[in-house]
């Protein structure tokens, strides 16, 4: 505890000296609208009053009345076309109870962008799966922060889509110029397994009990809420939890060998990495103080 307290006490001193982080809590990318690096175009999104229900989804869906654009921390453009379907949540249904009611106004813009690229009901849309799943999920986090979502809440929601959200190996070529999304044919709930309903787009999780995924996510959520670590540390911790749960249960790679987790580190391992990060932050502060004398 002493190590953590000492390191955190110098965080504010190093805002301008630790690129990519603010007090150990700012990950590379966009954090809030005032950062200027990321921004929305045509925000806030306008949604239809008409409701669409999709099998296995707990919240009603609405379609966008016009397009919504987001520019990420790398200057990349993301577009949710007119008629994109969203429930305002965009997280795996199995994790909704752990996170709480997710479909609030501060989430909806980010959810619309995320859903355009990987959301249920948008499979025939012009933007669906046209970017790598890692980039889509990371942009969801940046979009949440620019929209004003609390940093810890945004990190927990990012971890939710990273751990249990959809993945794909084929990147579609967006050759068409049509910017109006088309709703995909809906599949009846009787044709889907519990895992397919609660973790759509994740056939690699078919052998993992839903309750185990929820328990692992609770561990991830607790890690984030206790430490508020940088996003890169969260990504490593999520990868570790995924590797462990897949090793313990039936494992059938479905998302490509280059994307499979390759480590099996424990919770303590990532705690120690974070503590070392804070120690390094404190050491940097001492060095700066010495140079200033």
Tens of pLDDT, residue by residue over 41-97, are: 999 999 999 999 887 677 889 999 999 999 999 899 999 999 999 988 788 888 887
- Interval 220-227 mean pLDDT: 96
> Residue 193: its pLDDT value, please?
62
Residue 216 has pLDDT above 70, yes or no: yes
Cα distance between residue 80 and residue 112, in whole Å: 6
* Nearby residues of 116 by Cβ (< 8 Å), 6 or more positions away: 78, 79, 80, 81, 84, 122, 125, 127, 128, 181
Give the per-residue pLDDT at 23. Answer: 28
Q: How far apart are CA 95 and CA 157, in angstroms?
A: 9
Q: Return the percentage of the chain with pLDDT > 90, whole number.
A: 46
What residue numbers bound the domain in which 150 lies?
2-292
What would the two tokens of residue 118 be?
Answer: 């990987």
Q: Which two tokens stand for residue 24?
A: 């150990």
* Confidence at residue 49, expressed as pLDDT on a 0 to 100 scale: 94
The residue with greater pLDDT, 216 or 263, is 216
Say whether the peptide bond before residue 44 is cis (omega within 30 degrees of 0).
yes
Q: Please answer whether residues 107 and 147 qualify as being in contact, where contact means their C-beta atoms are separated by less than 8 angstroms.
A: yes
pLDDT-based confidence at 282, cuts 50/70/90? low
Residues in the chain: 293
166: which residues sit within 8 A by CB, 6+ positions away?
A: 118, 133, 200, 201, 202
- State the distance between the two ends of the chain, measured CA to CA, in whole angstroms: 29
Domain count of the chain?
Answer: 1
pLDDT at 176 over 80: no
Q: Where are the alpha helices (DSSP H) in 176-261?
A: 194-198, 210-227, 231-248
- Give 144 or 256, the one with higher predicted confidence: 144
> What is residue 174's predicted lDDT score, i.e. its pLDDT?
62
Residue 106 confidence (pLDDT) above 70 = yes
Predicted confidence at residue 65, as pLDDT, reads: 97
**Residue 259 token pair:** 């994307």
Mean pLDDT (the chain) is 76
- Judge whether residue 115 has pLDDT over 60: yes
Mean pLDDT lowest among 36-40, 217-221, 256-260: 256-260
Measure the CA–CA gap between 51 and 35, rounded to whole angstroms.
35
Is residue 13 very low, low, confident or very high in pLDDT (cuts 50, 70, 90)? Answer: very low
Q: Which residue has the tokens 């379907």?
A: 85
pLDDT at 183: 38
Choice between 111 and 192, residue whose per-residue pLDDT is larger: 111
For tokens 């980010």, name the residue: 110
Q: Other C-beta atoms within 10 Å of 252: how many?
A: 10
**pLDDT given for residue 9 in this prediction:** 35
How would residue 31 be classed by pLDDT, with cut points 50, 70 and 90? confident
Q: Which residue, among 194, 271, 209, 197, has the nearest Cα to 240 in the 3D structure?
A: 271
Question: For residue 217, what pLDDT is reported?
Answer: 95
Instruction: List pLDDT tens digits, range 121-174.
Output: 999 999 999 999 999 999 999 999 999 999 999 999 999 999 999 999 999 986
pLDDT band at 200 (very low <50, low <70, confident <90, very high): confident
The answer to whether 279 touches 242, Cβ cutoff 8 Å, is no
């Amino acid at each position: 505890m002493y190590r953590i307290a000492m390191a955190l006490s110098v965080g504010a001193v190093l805002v301008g000296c630790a690129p990519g982080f603010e007090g150990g809590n700012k990950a590379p990318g966009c954090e809030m609208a005032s950062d200027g690096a990321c921004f929305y175009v045509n925000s806030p999104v306008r949604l239809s009053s008409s409701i669409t229900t999709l099998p296995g989804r707990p919240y009603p869906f609405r379609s966008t009345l016009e397009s919504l654009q987001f520019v990420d921390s790398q200057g990349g453009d993301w577009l949710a076309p007119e008629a994109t379907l969203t429930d305002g949540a965009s997280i795996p249904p199995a994790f909704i109870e752990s996170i709480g009611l997710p479909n609030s106004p501060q989430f909806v813009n980010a959810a619309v962008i995320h859903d355009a690229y990987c959301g249920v009901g948008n499979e025939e849309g012009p933007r669906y799966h046209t970017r790598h799943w890692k980039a889509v999920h990371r942009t969801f986090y940046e979009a949440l922060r620019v929209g004003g979502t609390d940093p810890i809440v945004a990190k927990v929601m990012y971890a939710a889509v990273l751990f249990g959200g959809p993945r794909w190996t084929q990147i579609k070529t967006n050759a068409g110029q049509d910017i109006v999304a088309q709703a995909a044919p809906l599949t009846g709930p009787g044709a889907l397994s519990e895992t397919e309903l609660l973790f759509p787009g994740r056939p690699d999780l078919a052998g993992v009990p839903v309750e185990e995924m929820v328990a692992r996510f609770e561990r991830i959520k607790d890690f984030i809420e206790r430490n508020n670590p940088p996003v890169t540390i969260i990504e490593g911790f999520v990868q570790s939890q995924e590797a462990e749960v897949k090793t313990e249960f039936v494992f059938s790679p479905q998302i490509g060998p280059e994307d499979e987790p390759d480590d099996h580190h424990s919770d303590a391992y990532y705690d120690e990495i974070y503590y070392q990060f804070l120690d390094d932050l404190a050491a940097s502060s001492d060095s700066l103080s010495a140079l200033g004398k």
